[in-house]
Each structure stands twice: as C-alpha cells, then as structure tokens.
Chain A
Amino acid sequence: MYKLLLCWRYLRTRWIALASVVSVTLGVATMIVVNAVMAGFSHEMQTRIHGILSDIVFESHSLSGFQDPDWHMEEIRRAAGDNIAGMTPTVAVPAMLSFQVRGQWITRQVMFIGIDADTHASVSDFGEYLQHPANRQQLSFDLREGGYDTQLDADAESEPLRPALENAGWPYRRERVEQEKLWRQQQQAAGGPVRPLDQHVDAVLAATEDPAPPSDTTNSTDLDAAAPIDPFRQARPDEGRTMDPATEQFAGIVPGIGLASFRDRSGVDRFLILPGDDVKVTFPTAGTPPKAVSNTFTVVDFYESKMSEYDSNFVFVPLEELQRMRGMIEPETGIGSVNSIQIKLAEGANLDEVRDALRKAFPPELYAVSTWRDKQGPLLSAVDMEMAVLNILLFLIVAVAGFGILAIFFMIVVEKTRDIGILKAIGAGSSGIAGIFLGYGLALGIVGGGVGMALGLTITWNINNIRQAVEWWTGQRVFDPSIYYFFNIPTIINPFTVSWIIAGAVGIAVAASVLPAFRAARLHPVEALRHE
C-alpha cells in the first residue's frame, strides 16, 4: 500500500523525474508519427500498386502473345476453380507516344496497353483513376462532351484546381478546329504559302493566351510524313474517307496523366495535351521481325493512379483496336491473341496458392504467372526494410532516455536514503522498498508513454494542418506534391504498433529503475538512518 502512496507522492513532488521522461515522451511521439506516416505511405503505395495490377497476372513470354484468350480463361477457371472473381485479357507492348506542343514534337517511351473497356475495371481499380465521372462508372473510349474533374480530390478543399480540364472534351476539340480553320482562311486570303500547320496554331494560341497548348492535328499514319497536306484527311488506312475532326474522333486513348501534364511550383497542373487532342503512337507489329507502325488516337481521358512510375508510363487503348493494328487477329477465324490475362481473385482466396496452381497447369516455358506482390516485391520489401531500420533507430532514442531515468533515479535514491531507512525501521521489507522505485519507474514510463502517445496521435491526426502551418510560416513547401503526387500526407495508426511502442517505452523506464531500486533495497537501515 505504501508503495503506491509513496510512488504517487514522489511523482507529484519530483518534477525533475518527469523531466527525465520528456525524452521518452518525445521518442514515443516521434515513433508513433513516423510509423503512422510510413504505414500510410506504404498502404497508399500498396493499394495503388494493387489497384493498377490485378491480383494475378498471367502472361506470355513473347510480345506476340498467345492465341485465343477465351480458351485460356476457361482453362484458368478450370485450374483455379472458385477462386476467380474476374478476368480480362490485355495486350501490352512498348511504344512511343508523340504529340506536338507549340510546334515541337514531344516523344515519350511508354507501355502501350490494350484493354477491354467492359471488363478491365472488374479486375483492378483502373476505373477509379480516370478523370471523367462517367468513365469511372464505365469506361468508354468515346470522347465526352466535357465534365472532367477540375478538382484533384473531391473531398479536399485546399487543393489546386485543374482549370485546363474545365473545357476539355468535345468543346475543346471544336474550338481548336475552329481556330485552325480561321487561321487557314486568313493564310489563304493573304496568299501566303501553306506552312506546316502547327507553327501557325502555336501563333494563334500564343495570341489568345490559351493555357492549354495545342497538339498534333496532322493525321498521318507515319511520323515522317508530317507534311503540309490536308490535316483533316482521315488517317485510318482501312477507311478511305475524310473525317471531320469537329464531330469525329480517332480511336480513343487514355494516357497516364504524368505523360500529359506536369505540376508547377504552386501545385497547379499544367497540361500539354487535353482530352480532345490527337496523339500518335508508334509500336511494333506482332509479326517476325516486328515492324514499327504508327497510328493516331484521340485522347479521351487521363489515367491517374498517383504512382508516378505508372502515370508517366502507361497508355491505354481499346484492346480490339490494338489487336487489329498489330495484326494479332487471325484473318480466317477472327480469333485474336493477347499477351496477358489479368485475374482478380474472389474474396478470401489465397494469392500464392492460386498462382502455384496456375503455374502447375500451364507450361512455364510459355507462360509466366505472378502475383501483384511478386511484381512489386523489391519495392515493398524495401519499404518494409526502411520502416524496420527507422524503428530501430528511434527505439534507440527511447533507450538513451532510459539512461536519463537511471541517473535521476539514482539521485532520488540518494536523496531519499533516510526515508528508506525510516521505512525499513517501521518494518518495510527490501522487496517493498524495491517495489516503490520499480513502481515509480513504471508510473513514469506510463506517464511518459501516455503523454507521448497523446502527442503522437495529436500530431498524426493534425499532420496536414501542421504541414500547412509550417508552410505558411516558412513560405516553403514542406511536402512537395510534385514529388509525392499526393497533397495530403497519408497516415495510418495501427493500434498494435502503438501499443508495442508504449510497452517498449514503459519497459525501458522500468528497466532503468531496476538498478536504483536494487540499490535502495540493499541499503542498510542504520546507514540509511545516519545519512544526513
């Protein structure tokens, strides 16, 4: 009983001891914040990776792929049974994406992916990453009549707008075509030579201060043939007629947003191309040896997974269009080939088991089966590793705090020597005396850990407010969205982690009080009473 009472009284009258746990408090708070942010990042990244990649990817080793995806899907279903929730065939080939900005050709290396608009959203979060609300419901490769999101995230208020998307879609396309026509008429009236269109468009746009730069409007099947011929001539080789770009479009394409825009220092997105613009893609055909072919597509939406690796690499087009252009459709039977099948598993299915079952069912020389974790294994384990190292370092800080507690406890034992003698004189046992100091250490640990937890949780919950305050105060961007691709610092508080941190801190405080407690217990009562 006296142990509790004295612990409490010592705690109340010895603020210096509380000072010694300040470092424990700070250590605990830091650990909680760091873990929450790291877990938030890790989770965000995993969900994104997982959202982009389907659960299991079944792919061919060759670029030309395998024939008859329907037969393969049936076989997969037979091998994996009820574990399959959805499947979609895709074709992915490396390609070059080219578009023209103010008279300059910009070419980027991309992964060109043909997807089935109807089923693709059922195997991954693909749909959620699109910019048009209707496309998020059901992707269509037809250009929309406007209505693209101008806000980055619907529930975030402070985030910068994407004003350029306001007008995107058909209105933008019509406006652009109108401007071009106007310019051509002016040129003809002036009797000037007909020069390549884009330079003039550039001039027109510069004059009107349009924030959206123009893109390529020459519709040639070959990049080299960007000649001053009629820019509105139909490009598709299989259709010999001329199209009207104000009312018609090429095959739809959904490039990653990182290919089409960049974020400036103020956090506003600047677009190089917009939905409604046309772009060129050059890619290898399925034959041997592969030949490079080019085609023109109309941008209908952007893909934004917020993983810059994917956003600046992926370009999506309709599967059938790509199959046809690459010559992947058997002319006689009309059966196409694909080079991978994306598989979504049913709730609760074991990822690795299904993968292994599929590996057994199909010859490994022809097909590779991998889970999304396999695909991103090195990245995920690097993040885990980073988290472990950080935790060890931070825990060492708390451990160092333990030595502070040790020193202060020794001081308190010396200071309380006479009281210890008194307690022994009135019959307190050595274990009881040790109990006072162990209990004291425990109490300090709980106070330190508890305050640290409160502090850590408060900081974590308000981390974005704090970030804004710091940014306002220093005028510097603390968390640069152009680097991280999200505006709010993501956090996840794992109660299990928090309790481990608190337990560790309390454990250290108790461990640090063991030595002083032992010393106090060993004090000889007479020596202690004579102590002045």
Chain B
Amino acid sequence: MSSEFDTAAAQLRLHDATPAPVTSSPVLRGIGLRKKYRSGTSTLEVLRGVDVELAAGEFVAIVGQSGSGKTTLLHLLGLLDAPDGGEVHLAGTRIDTLSSSKQDLIRNTQIGMVFQSYHLLPELDAVENVLAPLYVRYGMLEWLRRRHDARQEAVALLERFGLGARLSHRPRQLSGGEMQRVAIARALIARPQLLLADEPTGNLDAASGAGILETLTELNQSDGLSIVMVTHDTAIAARAGRVIKLADGCVEQQLTTPGRSAHAPPDFHERPARAGG
C-alpha cells in the first residue's frame, strides 16, 4: 500500500528537482489554462486561457458569476481534472503532465482541498476523517508505527478549530460549520504548501461562514499558508489579499485588497490587471 507512494516520492523528488529559490517563483501557477465540455454537438468552452499565479503565503480569492468556471479552474489547479490546454506548475515544476500516481502523491502531500459541501466520509468519525490523507499515504505497518503521533496531531488540529468535544462524532452528527472545520483540518493534516477552497462558506449561515473565514485568514497570516479560495460573495473576497475575477472563461480583473497583502511579494502588486477593467 505504501510502496506506490514511496516509489513515486522517490522518483518525484519534488523539492530537490527545483533548487531555484522559492521567492522568485510562485507556489502555484496556471498558464493559459483551457477547459471545454462537449455535450452532444455543442461545445462549451468554460476556460479559454486563464493565467493565475499564487505566491508563497498569498491569499487569493477567485470570484465570478455562477457558471463562470471557478470550480473548474480550481479542479485544474488541484489536479482533479486535466486541462485541455495550458500548464499547471507547483513550486516551479510542471505537474499536470505527471503520471497519475505522482499526481496522486501531490494531491496527498502538497495540496489541501476544501469543498462547499464538506465532502467528509460518512463512515469515519471526525478524527478519522482528519487522518484520511495519512491513511491513504501510509501502508499498514507504516501507519501502525505513526498512528500515535498522527492521531495526536489530528486531535490538536481539531482542538485548535474548537472541535475538542467532537472528536468521535460522525459527520452526520456535526453542524455544517463543524463539518467544514473538520474538512479544513483534513486538508491541513498532511502539512501542504497550498490550500484550495471551493466556496467553503457557501452552505453556511453568516456566523459560521465568518468563523470559517476567520480560520482561513488566521492560517494564512500566522502559518503562512498559501490559499486559493473560490467565492461569489464579494464581501468574503475582500478578506483575501488579492481577488481574481473570472468572466467568459478569462481573468477579467485582478484587485489587490489594501492592507491585506502582507505576505504577497511586491511584484504581484505591480502586475497590471488583464483585460478591460
């Protein structure tokens, strides 16, 4: 079980292969990403050449109308789907053309994902859901060796998110906000470089949504986690350091939120907005 990941990791050597200084290249980069869906005779071009960059420690929000392709873009960046054109780079390495086992490994170790509808596994309790990426990564023996530390870490994460009393609850016994916090903990357990969140507050009431947003902001500011968050609420987008607006399959506008750009490198601020403003 573990071997497939171990060999993939050995072959990949993601960090060794990119000795270039991290500051000069962004953590995540999408170049000219295209995606079209074919249904019968008509073709729907959802993304037609989208460029996005995320510097280390940056918090970017992607906004756009419903159906503008935000989720599609996030899936391409998170390797859940293959683009019809363009490239995805993670820390300077092109990742969209890697073999599927290497992509599996990157999803498991480098990228944390949070979804609008939480997507927890109903058969597992909160702690087990948080540990799921580690279950996937380790084989039986490896897991037995690490189980104690891993469990402590998962409990610590849940406690940090105020779920110390919900450790052995199943997802259906949790509220939406609690489930989303479990999902965030799951995304973080593998200590990824990058968090991709697709409308994490979309199904929540205002108060819970604000709590989730608070958590993400804090992770970005105190842990330096790079975050891409999709939302169509401009008020929420305003919490991010930078906002990318999608329209008609292209990046319509990039806005830098004043005072919320502490972690973004300078050159990002000077980047001109694409297309008409």
Interface stretch (choices A70-78, A425-433, A454-462): A425-433
CB of B123 within 8 A of CB of A6, answer: yes
CB of A427 within 8 A of CB of B135, answer: no
The B-contacting residues of A in range 10-54, CB under 8 angstroms, are: 10, 13
> From residue A423, how far is it (CB to closest CB) to chain B in Å?
7
B228 interfacial contact with A, CB 8 Å: no
CB of B104 within 8 A of CB of A419, answer: no
CB of A426 within 8 A of CB of B132, answer: yes
CB contacts (< 8 Å) of B123 on chain A: these are 6, 9-10, 13
Choice from B1, B80, B133 contacting A3 with Cβ under 8 Å? B1
The B-contacting residues of A in range 275-330, CB under 8 angstroms, are: none
Choice from B122, B133, B140 contacting A4 with Cβ under 8 Å? B140
Known A-B contacts A1-B1, A427-B105, A429-B100; the reply to A529 vs B133 at CB < 8 A is no
Give complex CA distance A54, B135 in Å: 67
A418 interfacial contact with B, CB 8 Å: yes
Give complex CA distance A4, B147 in Å: 15
Choice from A2, A4, A429 contacting B132 with Cβ under 8 Å? A2
Most buried by A among B108, B120, B136: B136
CB of B138 within 8 A of CB of A529, answer: no
CB of B136 within 8 A of CB of A427, answer: yes
> From residue A437, how far is it (CB to closest CB) to chain B in Å?
14
CB contacts (< 8 Å) of A252 on chain B: these are none
A5 interfacial contact with B, CB 8 Å: yes
- B187 nearest in chain A by CB position: A426
CB of A1 within 8 A of CB of B119, answer: no
CB of B135 within 8 A of CB of A2, answer: yes
The A-contacting residues of B in range 116-131, CB under 8 angstroms, are: 119-124, 128
Given A13-B123, A424-B80, A429-B100; 4 other pairs, CB 8 A cutoff:
A423-B132, A426-B136, A427-B105, A427-B107
Give complex CA distance A396, B40 in Å: 44
CB of B108 within 8 A of CB of A422, answer: no
Can you give 13 contacting A-B residue pairs, CB < 8 Å? A1-B135, A1-B142, A1-B143, A9-B124, A423-B132, A424-B104, A425-B119, A426-B108, A427-B105, A427-B133, A427-B136, A525-B81, A526-B80
A449 interfacial contact with B, CB 8 Å: no
> From residue B207, how far is it (CB to closest CB) to chain A in Å?
26
In order of increasing CB-CB distance, the 5 nearest A-B pairs are A427-B108, A2-B135, A9-B123, A427-B107, A1-B143
CB contacts (< 8 Å) of B69 on chain A: these are none
CB of B80 within 8 A of CB of A429, answer: no
CB contacts (< 8 Å) of A430 on chain B: these are 100
Q: Could you say which interface size class chain B belongs to?
A: 20 to 34
CB of A426 within 8 A of CB of B100, answer: no
CB of B80 within 8 A of CB of A419, answer: no
B159 interfacial contact with A, CB 8 Å: no
- A524 nearest in chain B by CB position: B81
> From residue A439, how far is it (CB to closest CB) to chain B in Å?
11
Most buried by B among A424, A426, A525: A426
CB contacts (< 8 Å) of B81 on chain A: these are 524-526
CB contacts (< 8 Å) of A424 on chain B: these are 80, 104, 107
B78 interfacial contact with A, CB 8 Å: yes
> From residue B255, how far is it (CB to closest CB) to chain A in Å?
28
What 1/0 mask marks residues of chain B from 67 to 87 whose CB sits below 8 Å from any chain A CB? 000000001001011000000
A421 interfacial contact with B, CB 8 Å: yes
B186 interfacial contact with A, CB 8 Å: yes
CB of B104 within 8 A of CB of A5, answer: no
CB contacts (< 8 Å) of B139 on chain A: these are 1
B233 interfacial contact with A, CB 8 Å: no
Known A-B contacts A418-B119, A426-B133, A525-B80; the reply to A431 vs B186 at CB < 8 A is no
What 1/0 mask marks residues of chain A from 78 to 90 whose CB sits below 8 Å from any chain B CB? 0000000000000
CB contacts (< 8 Å) of A10 on chain B: these are 123
> From residue B128, how far is it (CB to closest CB) to chain A in Å?
8
> From residue B80, how far is it (CB to closest CB) to chain A in Å?
5
CB of A427 within 8 A of CB of B109, answer: yes
CB contacts (< 8 Å) of A418 on chain B: these are 119
CB contacts (< 8 Å) of B143 on chain A: these are 1
> From residue A23, how far is it (CB to closest CB) to chain B in Å?
25
The B-contacting residues of A in range 502-532, CB under 8 angstroms, are: 524-526, 529
CB of A429 within 8 A of CB of B113, answer: no
CB of A529 within 8 A of CB of B115, answer: yes
- B4 nearest in chain A by CB position: A429
CB contacts (< 8 Å) of A9 on chain B: these are 123-124
CB of B137 within 8 A of CB of A427, answer: yes
Give complex CA distance A311, B145 in Å: 71
B175 interfacial contact with A, CB 8 Å: no
CB of B1 within 8 A of CB of A529, answer: no
Give complex CA distance A6, B107 in Å: 20
Known A-B contacts A1-B1, A425-B107, A426-B113; the reply to A419 vs B100 at CB < 8 A is no
> From residue B157, how far is it (CB to closest CB) to chain A in Å?
15
CB of B80 within 8 A of CB of A431, answer: no
B101 interfacial contact with A, CB 8 Å: yes
Give complex CA distance A30, B132 in Å: 42
> From residue B35, how far is it (CB to closest CB) to chain A in Å?
10
CB of B104 within 8 A of CB of A427, answer: yes
Give complex CA distance A424, B140 in Å: 19
> From residue A192, how far is it (CB to closest CB) to chain B in Å?
99
> From residue B182, how far is it (CB to closest CB) to chain A in Å?
12
CB of B105 within 8 A of CB of A419, answer: no
Choice from B75, B104, B109, B119 contacting A429 with Cβ under 8 Å? B104
Give complex CA distance A425, B77 in Å: 12
Give complex CA distance A102, B106 in Å: 100
> From residue B136, how far is it (CB to closest CB) to chain A in Å?
5
CB of B1 within 8 A of CB of A432, answer: yes
Choice from A419, A428, A524, A526 contacting B136 with Cβ under 8 Å? A428
- A427 nearest in chain B by CB position: B108
